[in-house]
Amino acid sequence: MRARTDWNEKNMNLKDAHRIRDTVNSGEISAKEWADAALERIDAVDSDLGVFLTVEPESVRRRAEAVDRAVKGKSLPLAGVPVTVKDNISTRHLRTTCGSKILENYIPPYNATAIDLLEKAGAVVVGKANCDEFAMGSSTENSALRVTRNPYDPERVPGGSSGGSAVAVAAAITPVALGSETGGSVRQPASFCSVLGLKPTYGRVSRYGLVAFASSLDCIAPIANSPKDIALLLSVIAGRDDHDATSAPFEVPDYMLELQQSVRGMKLGVPREFFGEGLDPEVQAIIEAGIRNAESLGCEVQEVSLPHTKYAVSDYYIIAPAEASSNLARYDGVKYGYRSAEHDDLIDMYRKSRSRGFGPEVKRRIMLGTYALSSGYYDAYYGRAMKVRTLIKRDYDKAFEKVDALLSPVSPTPAFKIGEKTSDPLAMYLSDIYTVTANLAGIPALSLPCGFTKQGLPVGLQILTKQFQEGTLLRLAEGYMNAFPVSGPPIKY
């Protein structure tokens, strides 16, 4: 482990991106010192928590030194801020595995647009975080490369698929991180780890360089300890990108300005379908207390209905596997990625490369998706699922005619034990029941810390609003967290 030198003397707190940025821009603390602090923190806790798949310390230091040279005479929005990046986001010359054996040694020749934007703003990527293989999972147990543990209870999962990114922020390794969202993969681990995770509107952030799982659902998403830092990160990565035809051609608002707006008078809806069978009573009590807290801020709360929610998990697990089946067809052992050394002919090479390179959950979803798209079944499954998706979107449109935002649980339970649900895929899929609808509808949603169970496990409150109104989510989150800061047991690391 590195010598701690003046780490404590300078209060090298790795939880606040704004403070780090300000100290680097002012010259009070260098980007190199912050990078060293993050690397020291990795040395101290990563062997126990299992956050990172790739860290190259010397490259991190060189990048930090370049930032120190760049800030002389000017300020940068993310000067010297250490950032953790989920390992399904492409990073030039830095291994990007997607948590899969099939890409275990893949090094991209280009950056994702979000990474280019971060580096232009002065951020320092310190490493690539573990995730469920190809972002398929709700616990980070599906990674082929290592197990990630919850910092509040190392015997429990951190959530998924962005579990490594959420733990990096919760354990104060970096103040912010990038994850990805397809059906709740940032919000659920944020809830399990007591941090904030924002799923942007589909198209708000470029998907260029995000390794595809389900292209009509995927998005890159920020994780942080405060709404202010979420706003800072989103301000940098949001916007139109010519490399991504699905990125929205809309101006990015001033999220920091929106944080300052009052929440008094806002109309908030509580969807009755999110408070039924399967919701843990202790989680329900914490969320209901959170809703009362929001009402006490001067917000008007009313019940609303999202009647097609009961079809959401079934709908998601037709659409997402179908798109995964198509997207993952490219991993055939020919141009890049794992190739079986033992094969009789080309077809045998395809079969063995894919069967040995992909893990059980990825293979399960490829098979489900291939079946849903197969001749004679396309209309009955994928075609019908797309129609139900439209109905789910209409439910939200109708609700947002009455209210500015919705409040709900993020997950029906707190973090479960490692191995508890791996033998029951359906039980694992049902942990996404409150998150998948936002992805199906393409709307933004945010998880913020709401409380802790009697066992000391975090519970997150979900806020959802209409498309491209991320500022509304951040304003509510800022108002709520200022009035009701969550205190709980300290993390164990």
| pLDDT one-digit tens code per residue, 205-247 | 999 999 999 999 999 999 999 999 999 999 999 999 999 999 9
Is 185 labeled as catalytic in the residue annotation?
A: yes
Cα angle 296, 302, 304; round to 5 = 145
pLDDT digit string (tens) for 315-348?
A: 999 999 999 999 999 999 999 999 999 999 999 9
User: Taken in order 95, 100, 116, 167, is the CA torsion positive or negative?
Assistant: negative
Alpha-carbon gap, residue 341 to 343, rounded angstroms: 6
437 pLDDT exceeds 90?
Answer: yes
> How many Cα neighbours within 13 Å face the side chain of 327?
20
Give the integer Cα–Cα distance in Å for 26 and 18.
12
The greatest distance separating any two alpha carbons of the chain, rounded to the nearest whole angstrom, comes to 70
Q: Give CA 216 to chain center in angstroms.
A: 16
Homologous superfamily assigned to 267-483: Amidase signature (AS) domain (3.90.1300.10)
CA distance 229 to 242: 26
d(CA 453, CA 32): 39
Return the domain boundaries, the chain: 17-259, 267-483
Candidate list 86, 352, 421, 466, residue with the active-site label? 86
- What is the share, in percent, of the chain residues with pLDDT greater than 70? 98
The CB density around residue 469, as the number of other CB atoms within 10 Å, is 19
pLDDT tier at 5, thresholds 50, 70, 90: very low
pLDDT number for residue 9:
61
Torsion-angle region of residue 166: left (phi > 0), alpha (psi -120 to 50) or beta? alpha
pLDDT band at residue 146 using 50, 70 and 90 as cut-offs: very high
Could you tell me the strand order of the sheet in which 445-452 lies?
A: 52-54, 124-129, 82-86, 176-181, 219-224, 196-199, 445-452, 458-464, 405-409, 267-271, 300-304
List of residues 6+ apart from 227 with CB closer than 8 A: 196, 259, 448, 474, 477, 478, 481
Please tell me which residue in 90, 138, 139, 185 is annotated as part of the active site.
185
Q: Distance (Å, rounded) from C-alpha 273 to C-alpha 322?
A: 26
- CATH code for the structural domain at 17-259: 3.90.1300.10
pLDDT at 3 over 60: no
Say if CB 425 and CB 305 are below 8 A apart: no
- Is 100 tagged catalytic? no
Q: How confident is the model at residue 12 (pLDDT cuts 50, 70, 90)?
A: confident
- Indicate if the pLDDT at residue 175 is higher than 50: yes
Per-residue CA distances from 293 to 1, 305, 356, 481, 486 (Å): 44, 21, 51, 10, 12
Strand partners, 460: 449
Rg (CA), the chain: 21
Q: Answer yes or no: pTM beyond 0.85.
A: yes
Tell me, yes or no, if 161 is annotated catalytic. Answer: yes
Residue scoring higher pLDDT (162 or 4): 162
Q: What is the 3-state secondary structure of 360-424?
A: HHHHHHHHHHHHHHCCCCCHHHHHHHHHHHHHHHHHHHHHCCCCCEEEEECCCCCCCECCCCCCC
In the set 90, 138, 161, 411, the catalytic residue is 161
Domain pair 17-259 / 267-483, same fold: yes
pLDDT at 117 over 90: yes
Q: What are phi and psi of 307, to 5 degrees?
A: -60, -25
Residue 317 and residue 429 in contact, taking contact as beta carbons nearer than 8 Å:
yes
What is the residue-averaged pLDDT of the chain? 96
pLDDT exceeds 80 at position 8: no
Over residues 440-490, the pLDDT tens digits come to 999 999 999 999 999 999 999 999 999 999 999 999 999 999 999 998 888
